[in-house]
Every structure is written in structure tokens, then in C-alpha cells.
Amino acid sequence: MAKVSFREDRCKGCGLCVEVCPKKIVELKKNLLNAKGYHPAGVTDMDKCIGCAFCATICPDCVIKVEK
Amino acid sequence: MSIVFDRPHALVDKPLHYCPGCTHGIIHRLVAEVIDELGIEGKTVGVSPVGCTYNNYEYFNCDMVQAAHGRAPAVATGIRRSLPDNVVFTYQGDGDLAAIGTAEIVHAATRGERITTIFVNNAIYGMTSGQMAPTTLVGQVSTTTPFGRKPELHGYPVKVCELLSTLEGAVYIERVAVNNVQNIKKAKAAIKKAFELQLAGKGFTLVEVLSTCPTNWGMNPVKSIKWLEENMMPHYKLGVYKDISAE
Amino acid sequence: MSEKLLMKGNEVIAEAALRAGCRHYFGYPITPQTEVAHYMAKKMEQIGGVFVQAESEVAAINMVYGAASTGKRVMTSSSSPGISLKQEGISYSACAELPMVIVDVVRCGPGLGGILPAQCDYFQIVKGGGHGDYNLVVFAPSSIQELYELVVHAFNVADQYRNPVVILGDGYLGQMMEAVEFKDEEVINKVEKPWATVGTNMEREHNVITSIYIEADVLEAHNNKLQAKYRAIEANETMVEEFNCEGADVIVTAYGTVARIVKNVIKDAAKEGIKVGLIRPITLWPFPKASFEKYAETPKGFLCVEMSAGQMVEDVRLAINGKNSVDFHGRTGGNVPSQKDIMAIVREIAARK
């Protein structure tokens, strides 16, 4: 099992993480706006996360921490 | 569970001011990760350019010096010659390095100055809102090539790696990209090798990183990466252009 | 006992810098000062110092910027056109408060001008040739001995105030040979430089050398800090020679090489019963206003003599503030004001009611 945590206040809603997640479990939270006015990214189904850290690797803002 | 991925220590824990999806952020992190892994933060001095990353001295935890536009390689030379045992790097954009700073980068390289240059090529002037850069592609629209870059008016784009690889003082020149996870890992390996060769006292090392500029290209971050892959990568071929460590 | 040598000015500049502990020099060839680089190239290699011939004066001043950031004593030298190229770097250095010594051996201008001596860069150096509100401490030696002493002094002043300092000479000073007596030991004022970017060694927050402050209030506060420093320099570092001014009929003011000519005029005038005084600014900035204020009403008139079309004369007029007349005599193109021409004007002023 792996765990991914997002510093939602740092996210700029660029969407790059959404593209690269091999499990397609990362998405921008349409129902949430962070202080900067962006829809922050988040994981929909943590159980499917394999901890590959693709999302964190392509994130330009160090929003994502990955544990495994 | 243990942490598999987190912010490197050499990268200051504060928000970056870069536009959403701008891949400068990735490149900053790669440099910081390499500094952590080589354990050199305490003896590294970085030089910031003029451009979008003019204040990246706020984002690196090592000592930093901000340089006039194009002069980072000269400032770095002054630092290098003063601190023989330190690690010195410059972080520069395409306007800084390949336009106003061409003489400085050429001569730092041909002097074999023991510094590492991270050269970010996003084919546009970002900070000043979208003007043509030396690396702007033929046909590419910018605020100073409003009808597309035309060689007969605006000249041809500069291939920096090819240019600098002819200089003997340059010991390692590679062009990489950060458009996908695999290339990001290769980019990091190249940056690490550049710093390692500097540590080994070999000579001038430079890594050119193809990067996006969603705001001034007028595309969203995901489309920007696609545009980079379809337009920049064919023109700016990835690969190693100089590597004396192989000899 | 110190040693007395016959030496060329440009070489004295380099020797003085080495004696002041300078081990880093970055330069570029330009007549009439390139012997400074020759001397540094040889000596630095012999003593394990750093000499770099840069690709341009622009690169050279930025290499100096880098070295100064690490706290090293560092120098560059050039002449007029080269100094124009360095102006951006000088403005950055003033803002970033980087100590350095910049030698300007002035040649006639404007443009490529000529290679003969002149004083036509007073405005560029004293009024700040770069952008922004800043000041450089500017020393104007008029002999090889004084050149040596002021170069050593310049390094101490630069470190003490964290400010670029200029030695403003001219082609004569650089090219002529004179006797110079070097001390056995130089006075080197060591200062701590906790701000230097030498690597954190993981023991402190990082240091940043920068000259950009995006927020207006922050940059204004920085400007106010610089201005306060300049007031302190004005109060403590002004240097001037007042010669024969008490009760003088005419007071001539000149600096550098021209002041030597005026001293001969003083002897000639004395034979004709005309008492001529000399006010010789040694620091062009801070400008010795007090000397002019002190003698403002003493003579029948002031005469400012320069190898230019008239630049320092403006500061003289400002200092005298209308209390007396200030005539000007100057030569350009590399020509030198002659004793005869100066004497003629002195006679005319002395004859005024």
C-alpha cells in the first residue's frame, strides 16, 4: 500500500500529475478552491496507488509527498 | 511506511512564483535533489540570472549571488577563482545565456571554467512577456514575431549544445527535457553527472533543459508539453554533445 | 627601511594592490593602462594569486562582482571606453554593497577618442556613470607615491564601507616613471564579512548577494541605507590639499596631474608678487566642499583648470555658491594646460578690482 499527500495550498492546478498517473487516480478537485483560487489535485482512490511517484516527479511545485 | 518522495532539503520550503505548469519548478527540484545526493549544499554557491528565475536565490538553500542579465558565467568565474574547493553553478534562461550572455557562456566554456550551467530553453522570453528568444523556432509566434519568426527578418534559432560542444574547455554538454517522467529522470542523471565532473575538477559542464512556458506560448500546461514534444524536440535533439569522461 | 624604486605608474598600481592583500585581478587590455594587467599576470602566477584576462570589460567587472561576493580583496583596471562598458556592473556592485577597487586611467574622448591623457571622465566617475542613486569613493592621485598610498588606502575604505572605490588617474600617471618608496608593512584593516557567499557549511542560513528588491518600500529602505552610508563617507573620508591659500590673490583648483602644473604657476606668480593658492581635491567624491567654503571670499577669483571641457568646475561653483567668480581653463584631445596659459589668466584675475 502506498500513500500520497498533497499540500493543497501550494497546488496551482496545472494538471500535469493527472496526466502521468499510471493508475488514473489523480484528479483536480472541482468542488474545492485553494487560497490561490486553483482547483488542487488529489487522489480519488488511495487503495489503487502503487507509490510510483510519477505524479510527484512531474509536479513543478513540490505539492506531492509519497510514502510506501 | 517510509517517505519515497519529498521536497529536497536544498530547495527552500516556500511557494515558487512560477506560472502553473511551468517546468522551471521541476528543474529547480532536480538541481536541489542532486545537491542533496552529492552532499554539497554547504559548499555550493549558485548564480541566479535575469529572467523568470531572477530570484531563484530565494529557492535554493545554498549561498546565492544574483547576476546582471547574461553575466552569470562571468560572476561564476569570479566565485570559482575565489573558492577553489566550492561547487559553483549558474541557472540561466535562453535570453540570458544565448542572447545577451553569449560571449560570457562561450568564454566560460572555452576557459574550461569549473562551473556547471543549467541552461533552460523554453524558446521565449518569459519574464518580459513573450518576446522572441534566440531559441524561438522558425514560424513560432511571439510578441516580437507577431506573424511568426521569419529567418529573413529574425534570423535562425541557436543550438547551444552544438555550439558549445566545439569548445575544448567544455567537458560535458547534454540536452535533456522534462516533458515526461522518464525524461525527468534522465535530466536528473545528466545534472548529477555535470556536478560530479565539476567535483572531479574536469572543466566546464552544461545541461540544456527543454522547458515549457504555458503563459507566453498561450496554451495550458498539458498542451504546452505536447507542443514542446512536437515542435522543440525535433529541432533541439536530446542527447550528449560532449563527454570527455567517456574517454 | 623601506625600499625606494623608480617605477611606472601602472606597475605601481598593481604592486600597491598586491601589498594591500589583493590576490584577485580581472581585467581587459586597453591603452593606456594595460601594464597593470601585464604586472598582475606575472606576479599573480608567481604568488598563487588569480589573474584572469576576461573576454570584455563587461565580463571583467562581473567577475570582480563574483569574487567580491566571496569577500576577497579584488581589483580591476581599465580606461574610459572600458569603464563605460563596466558601468552596469558598477551600479550593481554599489547596490549590492560589494567592496572592490576599480582603477580608471583616463584617456581623451569621447568615443574611441585617443590614447593620450585626459580628465574628461569626471562626470562619469564622480556623478555616477551607471544607473540609480549611488556614489563611488573616488581618489585622484597626482604623483606616483600618492598613487601607491591611495591604492592601499582604497582597499581599506572599500572594505570598511562595503563600497566600490575608484582610483582615477590619467594616461600620464599610468605611463610616467617616478621614485616611489614602499613601506615594509602595509596597514591592512581586516574586516569581518559575514555576508560573503562562501558556502553555508550547513552552519547558517544562506547568504544572498543581490541588487534587486521588487517591493518599493524595501528598495527605498535599501536606498536610504546607502544614502546614510554616503553621508558617513562624506564626514570621514574626504581628502584635500590646501596649498598657499591664506590671503591668496587668486585660488586655482585642479586635481591629479594638472595640479602639479599649477604648483609651478604658483612659483612663477610669486615672482610677480601675485599670491596664488591651490585647492587640490584628493577625493573627488566626497568632494571637499569645506575648503571652497572656507576660502570662498579670500581671493579676487577662482580658476578651475582641467584636461576637459569643464566638469569639476561645476562642483567648484556649487561649493562657492555664488560668493566669488569661478573661471575655467581646459584643454582636450590629449593636450595639456600650459603654465603660460594658466599664468595669463591668473594675472588677469589678480588685476581685477
pLDDT in tens, B45-102: 999 999 999 999 999 999 999 999 999 999 999 999 999 999 999 999 999 999 999 9
Residue in B54, B79, B103 nearest the CB of C69: B79
pLDDT of residue A6: 98
Q: Is residue B5 part of a domain?
A: no
Q: Is the pLDDT of residue B247 over 70?
A: no
What pLDDT, on the 0 to 100 scale, is given for residue B1?
87
**Do residues C245 and C231 both lie within one domain?**
no
Closest CA to C52 of C76, C83, C25, C75: C25
Strand ranges, E, within chain A? 3-6, 26-28, 41-43, 64-67
Report yes or no on B68 lying in a domain.
yes
Per-residue pLDDT of A10-57, as tens digits, reads: 999 999 999 999 999 999 999 999 999 999 999 999 999 999 999 999
**Number of domains making up chain B:** 1
Using CA coordinates, name the residue in chain A closest to B8: A62
* Domain annotation covers residue B12: no
Mean pLDDT for C103-109 is 98
- Beta-bridged to residue C51, according to DSSP, are C25
Same domain, C141 and C290: no
Is A3–B21 a contact, with Cβ atoms under 8 angstroms apart? no
Domain region containing B185: 24-243
* In a domain? residue B18: no
Residues C191 and C205 in one domain: yes
Domain that holds residue C222: 3-237
Query: How far apart, in whole angstroms, are the C-alpha atoms of residue B4 and residue C104?
Result: 57
Last residue of some domain: C187, C212, C237?
A: C237
Residue B93 belongs to what H/E stretch? Answer: strand B87-93
Residues of chain A neighbouring B227 (CB-CB closer than 8 A)? none
C-alpha A34/C-alpha C316 separation (Å) is 63
- Whether the predicted pLDDT of C1 surpasses 60: no
Strands C137-139, C164-170: parallel, antiparallel or unpaired by DSSP?
Answer: parallel
Collapse the DSSP code of C280 into the 3-class scheme (helix H, G, I; strand E, B; otherwise coil) and give the result. Answer: strand
Quick one: C57 and C120 in the same domain? yes
Q: Tell me the three cell numbers of residue B157.
A: 534559432
> For residue range C115-131, what is the model confidence (pLDDT) as tens digits?
999 999 999 999 989 99
Query: Maximum distance among all alpha carbons in chain C?
Result: 74
pLDDT of residue C221: 98
Question: What value does the mean pLDDT take over residues C330-349?
Answer: 98
Question: Does one domain contain both C232 and C247?
Answer: no
Residue of A2, A60, A66 lying closest to B18 (CB–CB): A60
C156-207 pLDDT, tens digit per residue, is 999 999 999 999 999 999 999 999 999 999 999 999 999 999 999 999 999 9
Provide the pLDDT for residue C91. Answer: 98
Considering the domain architecture, whether residues C156 and C86 belong to the same structural domain is answered as yes
Judge: A59–B24 Cβ closer than 8 Å, yes or no. Answer: no
Full DSSP string of B113-180: -S-EEEEEE-SSBTTTTSB--TTPPTT--BTTBTT---HHHH-----HHHHHTT-TTEEEEEEEE-SS
- Report the DSSP beta bridge partners of residue C348: none
Q: Cell digits for B185?
A: 529522470
User: Which A residues 4-33 touch B at CB under 8 Å?
Assistant: 10, 12-16, 19-20
Give yes or no for B126 touching A (CB within 8 A): no
CA distance A60 to A64: 10
Instruction: Establish if B25 touches chain A: CB-CB under 8 angstroms.
Output: yes
Average pLDDT over residues B200-211: 97
Check C74 against B106: CB less than 8 A apart.
Answer: no
CATH of the domain at B202: 3.40.50.970
Residue B245 pLDDT level (bands cut at 50, 70, 90)? confident
Q: Are residues C154 and C249 in the same domain?
A: no
d(CA A12, CA A14) in angstroms, rounded, equals 5
Give burial (CB, 10 Å; 0-12/13-18/19+) of C248: buried
CB of B81 within 8 Å of any CB in chain C?
yes
Quick: pLDDT tens for C264-321: 999 999 999 999 999 999 999 999 999 999 999 999 999 999 999 999 999 999 999 9
Whether residue B6 and residue A65 make contact (CB cut-off 8 A), yes or no, is yes
Q: Which residue on chain A is closest to B59 by alpha carbon?
A: A61
**DSSP string of C221-248?**
HHHHHHHHHHHHHHHHH--EEEES-TT-
Mean local confidence (pLDDT), C335-341: 98
Tell me, what's the pLDDT at C2? 75
The pLDDT > 70 percentage for chain B reads 99
- Which of C199, C215, C237 marks a domain boundary? C237
Work out the average pLDDT over B204-226. Answer: 98
Mutation test of the interface with chain C: which of B11, B14, B48, B63, choosing the one with the most C Cβ atoms within 10 A? B63
C157/C66 same-domain check: yes
B243 min Cα distance to partner chain A (Å) = 27
Residues C225 and C248 in one domain: no
Q: What count of other Cβ atoms lies within 10 Å of the Cβ of residue C45?
A: 11
Closest chain C CA to residue B61:
C206
* Closest Cα in chain C, distance from residue B81 (Å): 7
Q: Is C52 exposed, middle or buried (0-12, 13-18, 19+ CB in 10 A)?
A: buried
Q: For residue A21, what is the nearest residue in chain B, using CA coordinates?
A: B181
The shortest C-alpha distance from B7 to chain C (Å) reads 17
In the prediction, which pLDDT does B205 show? 98
Contact C275, C295 (CB under 8 A): no
Of C192, C216, C237, the residue at which a domain comes to its end is C237
B91 touches chain C (CB under 8 A): no
**Nearest neighbour of A68 by CB, restricted to B1, B16, B181:** B1
Record: contact B74-C59, CB cut-off 8 A: yes
Domain tally, chain C: 2
What integer pLDDT is reported at residue C97 of this predicted model? 98
How many CB atoms lie under 10 A from the CB of residue B141? 17
Q: Given this model, what pLDDT does residue B191 score?
A: 98
Residue B94 included in any domain: yes
Beta pairing, strands B63-66 & B116-121: unpaired
3-state percent breakdown (helix, strand, coil) of chain A, nearest 5: 20, 20, 60
**CA–CA separation, C250 vs C349, rounded Å?**
7
> What are the pLDDT digits (tens) for B142-194?
999 999 999 999 999 999 999 999 999 999 999 999 999 999 999 999 999 99
Residues C76 and C34: beta-carbon distance below 8 Å: no
Under the banding of pLDDT at 50, 70 and 90, the label for residue C18 is: very high
Average pLDDT over residues B208-217: 98
Which residues of chain C are within 8 Å of residue B114 when distances are taken between CB atoms?
none
| Residue to test with chain A: of B2, B3, B5, most A Cβ within 10 A | B5
To which residue does cell 594595460 refer? Answer: C34
**C152, C187 in Cβ contact below 8 A?**
yes
Q: What is the CATH number of the domain that holds C345?
A: 3.40.50.920
> ipTM score here?
0.97
Inter-chain touch B83–C198, beta carbons under 8 Å: yes
| CA-based torsion, B102, B105, B108, B110: positive or negative | negative
Question: What rounded mean pLDDT belongs to chain C?
Answer: 97
Q: Give me the amino acid identity at C34.
A: T
**What integer is the mean pLDDT of C24-49?**
98
Q: What CATH number did the domain enclosing C98 receive? A: 3.40.50.970
